[in-house]
Amino acid sequence: MTQTLEPTTGTEPSAARTRVETWLADFEAALAARDVDRAAGLFATTSFWRDLIAFTWNFTTVENRDGVADLARQTRESTGATNSRITEGEEPEEADGVVTAWFRFETAVGRGSGLLRLNDEGAWTFLTTLDELKGHEENQGTNRPRGVEHGAQKDRVTWRERRTAELEGFGRDREPYVVVIGGGQGGIALGARLRQLGVDHVVVDRHARPGDQWRSRYKSLCLHDPVWYDHLPYLPFPRNWPVFAPKDKIGDWLEMYTRVMEVNYWGSTTAKSATWDDAKKEWTVTVDRDGEEVVLHPKQLVFALGVSGKPNIPSIPGQDVFAGEQHHSSQHPGPDAYKDKRVVVIGSNNSAFDICGALWEIGADVTMVQRSSTHIVKSDSLMEIGLGGLYSEQAVEAGVTTHKADTIFASLPYRIMHEFQIPLYQQMAERDKDFYQRLEESGFRHDWGADGSGLFMKYLRRGSGYYIDVGAADLVADGKIPVKHGQVTELTETGVKLANGEELPADLVVYATGYGSMNGLAADIVGDEIADRVGKVWGLGSDTTKDPGPWEGEQRNMWKPTQQEGLWFHGGNLHQSRYYSLYLALQLKARAEGIPTPVYGLQEVHHTS
């Protein structure tokens, strides 16, 4: 709108604009000439090209001129850029010697966009994303569907009849092209994308209703990320949505969203097995739908089971002797039944804190067992310092739309992301130093991540090892929830015994001991052979705790082709579910339409779990 008014009317283009236009034109020309060295020479000595399916049909980050040359060489026959230009209404900006510019381009099959940062030597970071496929644009705005068909038609089929026939027909008179296993926010967001792209799909989940994944968790659970970070595609939360939504409210939203976005969703449905027919290039997926066995034959199978795999339940001598109740945190029903009971929670990350806090609130006698150090940040500090620049009311008012924020985030290469993160966490340490001092004095073992880069890098590297404090950490710091240290060596009939010999009496033991890799969950359905072929899911190969090297450049197996044809992983927090679901959906759509999708740099597998 007003941003499209030309702010520079009557003035000369800025030097920054000229540099960017020249760079884009040179790059486009180099690709067109298949001149790999010239293309690579446009990059700085230290540089990163991150491509989300625009040139590579993969999620790929190549580094430095060598990496660029390799990418350009291997993809030069299949693609190139045309019509590269600075995005309308977005003036390139120069700061600290770096010019930042939003741009658009086309490939042979689609339209893309990206974010370029130029330093003195050339491109320092270069993000390219494919945003839509030509001829398969989404129906939005002026292209929105018409809805009812006007005019009289004999034997009209209504919207409701059509929806019912579609939803109930899979496995009977039609096949979905994609089956998505897991109907949390990830599966739902992907389903919405697939609906928009016109890809036949069905999302299956063992819970009865969308949102039950949230509703069934412990009652004090809320989102730990603020609303601006959490929007789903197409239908953002309204302006009156709370900053930190309670779990039941998110559950309601997901249920509504699924219905309104016409996601094909089968609740009360458990995937039993999936086998790949390499001749037919097709899966045979057997599900139990509310007691009925249904067999589906999709070409593509997506696991969208969250960041977590199977619950890790440690094997401890005496578990068969313990007379009380014991369960994994994922099975914890909430505090209500445990007022005045003695509870030992093993673990000291997010789930452990949430469960301890809720138990303390209801009047349980709760003890936390810390086995290794934990990174804690205050929710407010994380929101203001960690996310505020991109995801906040102020950012929205400054014109940073959700998609723009997502793209800026995506444009920071994983290799150097910690460098941007470290100073933020130094700020948080300073801001909350009183809290950290109290926490330390209480005996709790706290860390800031392997390199001081804090929570988000821990999340990307290992998906664990932290707590976003919404209150329970103060209970620990204040000694209201006692913390014991060390490994649990034994369960007795009446409690928990620690390595130092101390015994903690317990009516309930909660194993807040985390989860395995997602391919472990998939193994139950696709079998160990395929799960091992695909390998570990999540992590960057940062060679830090629980994220062994070598360096991967992208998150392992997430949203991109795997070593098993037709098998994909989707998940992550609401931000990742929102942003990356587009690129996963476009990969599926391209395959559904028979558009060639030559994959550059298919990941190698270094770890099976």
Q: Name residues contacting a second copy, limited to 14-73 (CB under 8 A).
A: none
Mark the segment that binds a second copy (CB under 8 A) among 156-164, 268-276, 407-415, 444-452: 156-164
Is residue 380 within the footprint of a second copy (CB under 8 A)? Answer: yes
Answer for the pair 152, 273: CB distance below 8 angstroms, yes or no: no
Q: Which of residues 118-147 bind a second copy (CB under 8 A)?
A: 138-142, 144-147
Query: Which token pair is 315?
Result: 């094997």
Say whether residue 172 binds a second copy (CB under 8 A): no
Residue 208 as a binder of a second copy (CB under 8 A): the answer is no
**Nearest distance in Å: CB 542, a second copy:** 31
Residues 6+ apart with CB under 8 A from 8: 14, 91
User: Going by DSSP bridges, is the β-strand pair 466-469/375-378 parallel, antiparallel, or unpaired?
Assistant: parallel
Specify the residue, 444 or 569, whose C-beta has the smaller distance to a second copy.
Answer: 444
Comparing C-alpha atoms, which of 17, 18, 79, 71 is closest to residue 43? 71
Determine the Cα–Cα distance for residues 517 and 536; give it in Å rounded to an integer: 6
For strands 178-181 and 365-370, give the pairing.
Answer: unpaired
Q: Are strands 269-277 and 282-289 parallel, antiparallel or unpaired?
A: antiparallel
412 with 389: CB under 8 angstroms? no
Question: Which stretches of 297-364 are assigned E, i.e. beta strand?
Answer: 300-303, 325-328, 342-346
Q: Total residues at the site for a second copy (CB under 8 A)?
A: 70
Evaluate whether 319 touches 346 at the Cβ level (below 8 Å). Answer: no
Task: Decide whether 125 or 442 has the Cβ nearer to a second copy.
Answer: 442
Binding-site member from 35, 121, 132, 252 for a second copy (CB under 8 A): 252
Q: Is 249 in the site for a second copy (CB under 8 A)?
A: yes
**With binding defined as CB under 8 A, does residue 384 bind a second copy?**
no
If one asks whether residue 151 binds a second copy (CB under 8 A), the answer comes out as yes
Pull the structure tokens for residue 88: 């309308």
- Please check whether residue 443 is in contact with residue 483, taking contact to mean a CB–CB distance below 8 angstroms: yes
Q: How far is the CB of 475 from a second copy (least distance, A)?
A: 5
Nearest to 49 by CA among 34, 35, 66: 66
Of 169, 471, 516, 527, the residue at the interface with a second copy (CB under 8 A) is 471
Where residue 334 falls (left for φ over 0; alpha for ψ -120 to 50; beta otherwise) is left
Q: Which residues contact 316 (CB under 8 A, 6 or more apart)?
A: 488, 489, 490, 491
Q: Does 551 bind a second copy (CB under 8 A)?
A: no
Q: Are 20 and 97 in contact (CB under 8 A)?
A: no
Phi and psi for 487 in degrees, rounded to 5? -80, 155
Cα(228)–Cα(90) distance, rounded to whole angstroms?
22
* 155 sits near a second copy (criterion: CB under 8 A): yes
Cβ at position 196, least distance to a second copy in Å: 6
Q: How far is the CB of 254 from a second copy (least distance, A)?
A: 11
Footprint (CB under 8 A) of a second copy, residues 350-369: 357-358, 360-363
Q: Exactly one of 79, 196, 348, 557 binds a second copy (CB under 8 A); which one? A: 196
| Closest distance of CB 265 from a second copy, Å | 13
Binding mask 88-107 for a second copy (x = CB under 8 A): --------------------
User: Which residues, numbered 212-241, are part of the site for a second copy (CB under 8 A)?
Assistant: 219-220, 222-223, 227, 234-235, 238-241
Distances, alpha carbon 145 to alpha carbons 140, 142, 148, 196, in Å: 7, 9, 9, 10
Which lies closer to a second copy via its Cβ, residue 5 or residue 279?
5
**Residue linked to tokens 């739908």:** 289
Best CA proximity match to 484, nearest among 356, 317, 377: 356
CB of 195: closest distance to a second copy in angstroms? Answer: 9
The two tokens of residue 566 are 């037709």
CB of 487 to a second copy, least distance (A): 27
Q: Does 244 bind a second copy (CB under 8 A)?
A: yes
Residue 245 in contact with a second copy, rule: CB under 8 A: yes
150 binds a second copy (CB under 8 A): yes
Residue 362 Cβ vs a second copy, minimum distance, rounded to whole Å: 7
526: left (phi over 0), alpha (psi -120 to 50) or beta: alpha
Nearer CB in complex with a second copy: 220/308: 220
Q: Which stretch binds a second copy (CB under 8 A): 80-88, 308-316, 423-431, 466-474?
A: 466-474
Closest separation in Å from C-beta 381 to a second copy = 12
The piece of 159-167, 178-186, 198-206, 272-280 that touches a second copy (CB under 8 A) is: 159-167
Cis bond upstream, residue 92 (ω within 30): no
Residue from 82, 159, 277, 293 binding a second copy (CB under 8 A): 159
Between 155 and 173, CB nearer to a second copy: 155
Q: Tokens 């695909």 appear where? A: 534
Cβ nearer to a second copy, comparing 267 with 520: 267
Identify which of residues 41 and 388 has a Cβ nearer to a second copy in the complex.
388
Determine how β-strand 82-86 pairs with β-strand 98-106. Answer: antiparallel
Cα 538 from Cα 518, distance rounded (Å): 8
If one asks whether residue 198 binds a second copy (CB under 8 A), the answer comes out as no
Contacting a second copy within 431-460 (CB under 8 A): none
Order of strands across the sheet that contains 178-181 = 265-266, 201-204, 178-181, 300-303, 567-569
- Closest contact distance (angstroms) between CB of 247 and a second copy is 8
Q: Name 192's Cβ contacts closer than 8 Å, sequence gap at least 6.
A: 232, 233, 234, 257, 261, 263, 581
> Is the CB of 249 or the CB of 446 nearer to a second copy?
249
What are the residues binding a second copy (CB under 8 A)? 1-3, 5, 138-142, 144-148, 150-156, 158-161, 163, 196, 219-220, 222-223, 227, 234-235, 238-246, 248-249, 252-253, 255-256, 259-261, 357-358, 360-363, 379-380, 393, 397-399, 470-472, 474-475, 480
